[in-house]
Amino acid sequence: MLLVRKNYVLPTLVLILTTYFLFSTLPPGGEVPYVTKSSEPNKAESTKDDNRIHWSKHPEQHPIVDYISLPTSSPSPIPQIQYGFSPESWLDSLWRKKKRNAVKEAFKHAWMGYKDNAWLRDELSPLSGGYRTSFAGWAATLVDSLDSLLIMGLLDEFEEALRAVERIDFSTTESIQINVFETNIRYLGGLLGAHDLTDGKYPVLLKKATEIAEFLYGSFDTSNRMPQSRWEWTRSAAGLSIQPSGNTILAELGSLNLEFTRMSQLTGDPKYFDAIQRISDNLETAQKQTQVPGLWPMLVDAQSLRFVDTRFTIGGMADSTYEYLPKEHMLLQARTPQYQRMYELAITPIKERLLFRPMTKDGDDILFSGNINVASRSSQKKIEPQAEHLKCFLGGTVGIGAKVFNRPEELSVARKLTDGCIWAYDIMPTGIMPETLYLSPCEDMSDCQWDEQKWHRDIRNRSPKHSNIAETDAAAKALIEKFKLPPGVTEISDPRYMLRPEAIESVFIMYRITGDKKYQDAAWRMFKNIEKTTRTKYAHAAINDVRKTKPAQIDYMESFWLAETLKYFYLIFSEPDLISLDEYVLNTEAHPFKRPS
């Protein structure tokens, strides 16, 4: 018996050491102690100041006589989005939790940096330890992070933040203009997401959401009920008239749906849904009449409701308008076919006019979305092969659309778009995708062999001074060396990484849709490289050039780092039923709204 017992000693010791390693290994950058400190306001106590203008509601100059109510027809069945995951082995669970805990540690490090140095301010400056006022000064990072705290199980920190939220005065700000879109997705979205995750346990969340929604509703008091997207709120507070802009960014007009719809669902007040439904009706009316039927241009004349801009993209300035089509369909329980119609009208020209395959040395079958400008006849069918980090959301959106609208043939498109952004991460020295880059497009989407001379030619043509560059391979090679261009890349026009979430967003969604663990593997590579490169004493910082192995950091950490980027990294390494895509709709700031049942 003694001999038998000794035979178990070595395996038992190995198991203990393995378990210790898995759960105690620190994430890249090392551990920073996480200590709860007092949440008493030290910098930005919100108090009434008689010298400041406060929002007060005046009789509307353009009142609504008959509100458009939430659709009341019977809900239609929506196909399941998430993959049917099987139980995982104990070893898979062990490794997954190790990665999830590394993400949680990164979040706690950044949260403590914000709490200790920028509490109740909008954003932490992660190098200097200062702060930035970027979104009206209402503690954007704090409100934006509420549901992340809940998702990661940081309940003490959540309740501490909630006490601070009660002190925010949404009736006044030093900002002259309010960006309605950003305020909507971060503040209103953040409050509603936390409310839905806690099943209404904390009444203050809906109370403060109503305060900010009531405030934002004032931007719709225009002659055509289109919002003034950069709202001169002090004019409205003084009872003066406002009008929408003749140059309104498409995304700022078409990305208010989810938040205002959820407000009407929760409060029973139809005015919020009425406000955004009028926008949707105008967008649908114009959709077939633009210069690229099915798509809307980057800029809209919201005052005259003209859609005559010649530039079309799904990237910055347009992105979330398209993202919200399948999501609004889900939030409304498919009670109206309108948003499915709009999505199906848009996805065809997206595939036919915007998507391109880049030429790569390994022949990767991947896709990106470019831009088109139909200003001249010669450019009407020419795609500008610009890849953009902001466009990386599209893989996830097409994946969701493929599922909820029963378009299974488009799931491969969603995969190729997501794989394209993973490729753009993997080819960079830092392992991080830049803000914008240009690629050498394939001439044949189905058969694309590597052509060195074509790549060189495309590089010379992309160069800002290409007219003075010799038409030789040697000249192209000099540009490749000078600008550190990986094979297939013709220009890196903005080499920064701004802590953006769009790539990991699609990687997360595609993992939940397909169950393919390659997406978890890609997410872990992305996270390790980002955490290692961006970590600072206080939190995490944007970087100036992903082409350098040791890029300089920028004193900048936008609130979406905690609200979106780290949330998606955490969720992809969590159990699949945590924020199931069949139970929640995530707004464009990753705030989860409960799908009505």
What is the DSSP secondary-structure string of 51-90? TS--------SS--SSPPPPP-SPPPP----S--PPPPPH
User: Which tokens is 318 given?
Assistant: 């347009």
Pseudo-torsion of CA 478, 483, 484, 490, nearest 10°? -90
Residue position matching structure tokens 């595609």: 510
Angle between helix 271-287 and helix 203-217 axes, rounded to 10 deg: 50
- Give me the amino acid identity at 522: A
Residues with Cβ < 8 Å from 342, sequence gap 6 or more?
280, 283, 284, 287, 325
Residue position matching structure tokens 């490794």: 95
Q: Are 106 and 531 in contact (CB under 8 A)?
A: yes
Strands 372-373, 311-312: parallel, antiparallel or unpaired by DSSP?
A: antiparallel
Q: Any bridge partners for residue 132, and if so which? A: 123
pLDDT value at position 58?
82
Q: Are 369 and 394 in contact (CB under 8 A)?
A: yes
pLDDT value at position 44?
39
Residue 97: its H or E element: helix 90-118
Residues with Cβ < 8 Å from 428, sequence gap 6 or more?
434, 486, 546, 547
Phi, psi of 221 (to 5 degrees): -80, 65
DSSP assignment of 352-363 equals IIIEEPBP-TT-
DSSP 313: -
User: Which tokens is 210 given?
Assistant: 């109503």
Side-chain-facing half-sphere of 114: CA atoms under 13 Å = 31
Cα separation, 435 vs 391, whole angstroms: 10
Count of other CB atoms within 10 angstroms of residue 77: 7
Residues with Cβ < 8 Å from 62, sequence gap 6 or more?
221, 222, 223, 225
Q: Are 109 and 34 in contact (CB under 8 A)?
A: yes
Q: Domains along the chain?
A: 66-450+487-594 (1.50.10.10)
pLDDT value at position 22?
39
Side-chain-facing half-sphere of 88: CA atoms under 13 Å = 15
pLDDT value at position 26?
35
Cα separation, 281 vs 423, whole angstroms: 38
Count of other CB atoms within 10 angstroms of residue 107: 26
Angle between helix 257-267 and helix 271-287 axes, rounded to 10 deg: 150
Which of 531, 505, 526, 491 is closest to 414 using CA atoms? 505
Per-residue pLDDT of the chain (597 residues; tens, 9 = 90+): 333 333 444 544 444 444 433 333 333 333 333 333 333 343 334 345 557 889 888 899 999 999 999 999 999 999 999 999 999 999 999 999 999 999 999 999 999 999 999 999 999 999 999 999 999 999 999 999 999 999 999 999 999 999 999 999 999 999 999 999 999 999 999 999 999 999 999 999 999 999 999 999 999 999 999 999 999 999 999 999 999 999 999 999 999 999 999 999 999 999 999 999 999 999 999 999 999 999 999 999 999 999 999 999 999 999 999 999 999 999 999 999 999 999 999 999 999 999 999 999 999 999 999 999 999 766 667 999 999 999 999 999 999 999 999 999 999 999 999 999 999 999 999 999 999 999 999 999 999 999 999 999 999 999 765 457 778 889 999 999 999 999 999 999 999 999 999 999 999 999 999 999 999 999 999 999 999 999 999 999 999 999 999 999 999 999 999 999 999 999 999 999 999 999 999 999 999 999 998
Q: Are 148 and 562 in contact (CB under 8 A)?
A: yes
Cα separation, 432 vs 225, whole angstroms: 42
DSSP assignment of 429-448 equals TTS---SEEEE-B-SSSS--
